[in-house]
Amino acid sequence: MQLTTALSILAIATTAFASPAPQGSSSAEAQAAQVANSESGSSTSEGTVPQSSCIPPVLCCGSLTTPLDPLLDPILSDLDIDASSIVGSVGLACKTYDTSCTSAPQCCSEVNLLNGLLALGCSAMEQ
């Protein structure tokens, strides 16, 4: 698993250095999807928060990562988002939480971007 993750990250990093930084939200969507696929199964959520502090809907995210993840830098930059201002984790490949979700429900208190590919300020929700 670690070897697969390392190879995925290496492939993304190589692609990022080999091509110029894309412009626009469709490019950011493609980059976010690529990072979400490489981060599959990781989790960085710290503690839980009450549902009252969530921006609806509660989300089911494919993975979570830190806002300071270097793979997110070009995406956040394209969207004019300062990574250091994000409180909590960044949810990747998120959708509305339902019974088919295999991960904990995520409360994202900042914003859900790119049709759920990127959600900011995520933490596990109190159950």
pLDDT digits (tens, 9 = 90+) for 3-58: 333 333 333 433 333 333 334 556 666 666 665 555 444 444 456 777 777 778 88
Start-to-end C-alpha separation, the chain:
30
pLDDT tens digits for 87-118? 889 999 999 999 999 888 998 888 888 888 89
pLDDT of 75 above 50: yes
The CA-atom distances, in angstroms, between 22 and each of 60, 68, 80 are 28, 20, 13
- How many residues would you count in the chain? 127
Compute the radius of gyration of the chain from its Cα atoms.
14
Q: For the whole model, what pTM was predicted?
A: 0.61
**Dist. CA 26–CA 35, nearest whole Å:** 14
Q: What is the token pair recorded at 111?
A: 């914003």
| The pLDDT value given to residue 19 | 34
Domain count, the chain: 1
Note down the domain range covering 37: 2-125
Residue 90 forms beta bridges with which residues? 65, 120
- Structural contact between residues 70 and 78, judged by C-beta atoms closer than 8 angstroms: no
